Structure 1
Amino acid sequence: MEIPQKPQYGGGIIINPEFNNRLEGWTAFGDAKIEHRELRGNKFIVAHSRNQPYDSVSQKIYLQRNMLYSLSAWIQVSEGNDAPVSAIVKTSEGFKHCGTIFAESNCWSMLKGGFMVDTSGLAELYFESNNTSVEIWVDSVSLKQFTQKQWRFHQEQSIEKARKKKVLIQAIDAQGNPLPNATLSLVQTRSGFPFGSGISRHILTNAAYQNWFTSRNFTATVFGDEMKWYSTEYARGTEDYSASDAMLKFAQQHNIAVRGHNIFWDDPNYQPGWVPSLPPDQLSTAVQKRLNSVVSRYKGQLIGWDVVNENLHFSFFESKLGENASAKIYHDVREIDGGTTLFMNEFNTVEDSRDGSAAPGKYLQKLREIQSYGGGGGGWAIGIGLEAHFSIPPNLPYMRASIDTLAASGSPIWITELDVSSQPNQAEYLEQILREAHSHPKVQGIMMWTGWTPGGCYRMCLTDNNFKNLPTGDVVDKLLREWGFTKAKVEGNTNPDGFFEATLFHGDYEVRINHPNINNYSAQHLQVMRSDEQKQGRQIIQLRV
């Protein structure tokens, strides 16, 4: 952008956020030199003569305990097109990494991030870049604080807008006349939001596992290992899809959608045992065979494919087959199953702001690289898969800011492997993350990485081995009830014109209508659609009794 936008929230607690008062409130950090500049009528601050990454510009701030802080700033560098610039807050207890942008020259880019603090006190906000040869230009800085109550209120308001819709139902008789004072009962039979738990092959032979899983009314699932290359072709040339075939059939029988995980995994440690030693020509042949086999087998039966898993952190196929290996694989998969959304899938993009390898900016760079391979021009959408394996307390402002940044691409976003490592507040953190994900209007589905095996789960189970809920399972059940997955009921009476209005979660409903003039109640089906599926802000339905 040639000129940065105004600071969010008017700058929040930041003094002189637009630098209209020259350097008021701002000082040099480290050994940098700072100066006030103006270009095309826009005023900003510049840190130059930098020798260390942290040499930059800073402002002292006062932080309050248990508050959530959303940060944004517009950044530019003096030269180059890929200079990482991070926002850092130095507190008495250490450093808070708020977010990273890959800045360009001659173009302002928005850095979004955030953090949470456990103690009150003075702190210092500054910016840093490992590229010490560039000047860091900063403008329109904002740091807005929110109470826990304010944050939760925003989540609830977002859910009302993004996950629900106003529905106006008119009950009429066989002649088309309105039925006043008719009693309507609406029961949600299926949620319109894809949400669920991963499963393992053990569900095929364990009735208790099946009963627990199917009774939750989950709308989506994913297989932990059973569709991966090392499971379906453990020995070279011998394919076995029996487990994944049976699991897919089980899910389809219960009207549960399935994500395809995964076609390839870029981590060298998770290849079939016979793959790493193959010379490039044989590996290329094996890759093409695997791709054709699994994608053709499940074409049109899945709601998404994780194509080359974790190709930001790892590069097994690139190291063997060239730097465009991932991009070529995506395009080959698209040729076979172009009707299914193809996903990137990564960890630490929302979990850990310190991991620059998977920062939102890096994610979008890789996504565009795949889209443009072979002269594609970037005209097709690649799904953004966010694994969400949390090992540290969730940084909700950073999570929200990261999803905001990714959403600007227009690509569909899913939380694909959510779990929280074992820790005293595991269930509490799970609830916080689920609420944040579900409330974000650009998140189109949530999968938990909680497939059960007799030896336990990857990092987080929802039940014990007798399929009695653990505290994490209780959290999930509470949210399933709250979000309308468990046959939530809405009742009311029509007005004198036969109308009844309600705000309902997206999904399928059974509507029962009773009226004194009707001998038997009338049961009908209703689908409440998302606004992007139906243009009107309010859905109007006429039901004939």
Structure 2
Amino acid sequence: MNKPIRLTLSLVALLIVPVAYAQELNKDIDRYRKGEFVIKAKPGASVVVEQLQHKFWFGAAISNGFVDGHMQPADKAQYEQKFLQNFNSAVTENAVKWLSMEREQGKVIYSVVDSMLAWTDRHHIPLRGHNLFWGIDKFVQPWLKEMNDAELRATLQRRAESVTSRYRGRFAEYDLNNEMVHGNYYEQRLGNGITKDMATWAHNGDPGAKLFLNDYDITTGNKLPEYMMQIRSLLKQGVPIAGIGVQGHLHAETFDRKELKRALDSLAIFKLPIRITEFNVPGQRSRYYKENIRTMTQEAEAEKAKELTDFYRICFAHPAVEGILMWGFWEGANWIPVSSLYHTDWSPTPAAIAYQNLLFKEWWTKSSGKAGKDGTFKVRAFYGKYKVTIDGVVSEREFN
């Protein structure tokens, strides 16, 4: 009799911890993501408050195929519709990478970036430029490696200044030099002051450019100490870091909740905005990626939906985090196809439904009523953009 009782108590204990933790997360979400929205009107006026968009970035990477003519028209139409339905921000998946823009020396391709920015501008979507530089050896063009140090330095300066001046004021932010914890060919060649020089050159072209760091295996805790050390060093050098990017796909089918929270808490000491820049679940350490598995069981789909919502909940509850961007949302244009919200035929996965329930139901504000005797209508609301209707008169307002 004792053994079953102990097992039952253990199971109850296991259940209590997640429930209590979820309650704490919800308290933090209410504390950091909401405020009292006060509407001024005539006493007794009818007021309707409807959220249109979150202030927090819920975004995704945009595939080159969406704008370069390689996506089928029917898929392109669906891609646009689903993107606008689900996301309020974006990042270039490959368009800005130097290897994509200038594979051959002197032959710079701007058309893809131009088209992508034209689309995001038209829909008022902030776009991250990923990335100005990427010093991982295999992503450095062979023609760059053939230069002497003086030529390389001058070429790096032209790259930074030409991109930022051409797109001055249009990118919300840039990843300055991608994944420096894991490799930095340019620093090996030109010394540890090159990152500050890159930032200076970027600001020559666009003094207002916001320059982020970006690296992987950070939310797992594996490379967190190295990243912390690097950030401290760069700040000491005077590198103008505007924010910290942490990728979110080096886990497996699941992720470590405690390590994610620990990483965010640790990085928050720098008092800089944090973005989850590249999220997938299942991730790069999953069997789906390693074995190129393209289908999931119903049970696995349900697990994926739970993993996604838990990851988003932890990040949304953290005051230092300002956004999460998926690295692909459709199986037809996603490096880990099963991590998508939509199948190839555009049918939604359980993760898509869970994601939409989270963002547009649980984390969404809609309220109505009458203004009080003092002419005010108050509602505790998520920060973002709203449609406010007062006695039939409609206006849009930012609540930040």
TM-score (normalizing by structure 1): 0.63
Of 402, 409, 415 in structure 1, the residue corresponding to residue 270 of structure 2 is 409
User: How far is the alpha carbon of 1:342 from its aligned partner?
Assistant: 0.8
Of 84, 103, 108 in structure 2, the residue corresponding to residue 234 of structure 1 is 103
Q: Which amino acid aligns with 2:34?
A: K
Could you tell me how far apart the structure 2 residues matched to 1:275 and 1:436 are?
41
Check if 1:200 corresponds to 2:71. no
Moved more, 408-417 or 279-288: 279-288
Alignment of 1:155-234 (within 5 A): 155-172=25-42, 179-180=43-44, 182-204=45-67, 205=69, 206-216=76-86, 218-234=87-103
Residue 43 (structure 1) aligns with: none
Could you tell me how far apart the structure 1 residues matched to 2:244 and 2:81 are?
32
Q: How many residues align?
A: 365
Q: Which amino acid aligns with 2:46?
A: T
Give the direction of change, closer, same or farther, for the CA distance of 1:407–1:65 in structure 2 (3 Å limit).
Answer: farther
Residue 72 (structure 2) aligns with: none
Moved over 6 A (4+): 64-68
- Asked whether the 8 Å contact 1:327–1:371 carries over to 2, the reply is no
Could you tell me how far apart the structure 2 residues matched to 1:400 and 1:391 are?
14
Q: Which amino acid aligns with 1:492?
A: G
- Asked whether the 8 Å contact 2:160–2:205 carries over to 1, the reply is no
Check if 1:383 corresponds to 2:243. yes
CA RMSD of aligned residues (A): 2.4
Larger helix proportion, structure 1 or 2? 2
Of 364, 373, 377 in structure 2, the residue corresponding to residue 500 of structure 1 is 377
Question: Structure 1 stretches of 5 or more lacking a match?
Answer: 1-63, 69-117, 119-145, 173-178, 515-520, 530-545
Residue 283 (structure 1) aligns with: 152
Of 272, 278, 303 in structure 1, the residue corresponding to residue 172 of structure 2 is 303
Give the direction of change, closer, same or farther, for the CA distance of 1:65–1:400 in structure 2 (3 Å limit).
Answer: farther
Check if 1:317 corresponds to 2:186. yes
Alignment of 1:31-46 (within 5 A): none
Q: Which amino acid aligns with 2:389?
A: R
Residue 348 (structure 2) aligns with: 469
User: How far is the alpha carbon of 1:256 from its aligned partner?
Assistant: 0.6
- Asked whether the 8 Å contact 2:135–2:180 carries over to 1, the reply is yes
Alignment of 1:12-161 (within 5 A): 147-161=17-31
Could you tell me how far apart the structure 1 residues matched to 2:333 and 2:152 are?
34
Residue 252 (structure 1) aligns with: 121
User: How far is the alpha carbon of 1:404 from its aligned partner?
Assistant: 1.2
- Asked whether the 8 Å contact 2:63–2:333 carries over to 1, the reply is no
Check if 1:400 corresponds to 2:261. yes
- Asked whether the 8 Å contact 2:63–2:94 carries over to 1, the reply is yes
User: How far is the alpha carbon of 1:297 from its aligned partner?
Assistant: 1.6
Larger strand proportion, structure 1 or 2? 1
User: How far is the alpha carbon of 1:283 from its aligned partner?
Assistant: 2.1
User: How far is the alpha carbon of 1:220 from its aligned partner?
Assistant: 0.7
Could you tell me how far apart the structure 2 residues matched to 1:481 and 1:190 are?
9
User: How far is the alpha carbon of 1:408 from its aligned partner?
Assistant: 1.1
Could you tell me how far apart the structure 2 residues matched to 1:455 and 1:468 are?
14
TM-score (normalizing by structure 2): 0.84
Could you tell me how far apart the structure 1 residues matched to 2:203 and 2:348 are?
40
Check if 1:523 corresponds to 2:394. yes
Does the residue aligned with 1:215 lie in a helix, a strand or coil? helix
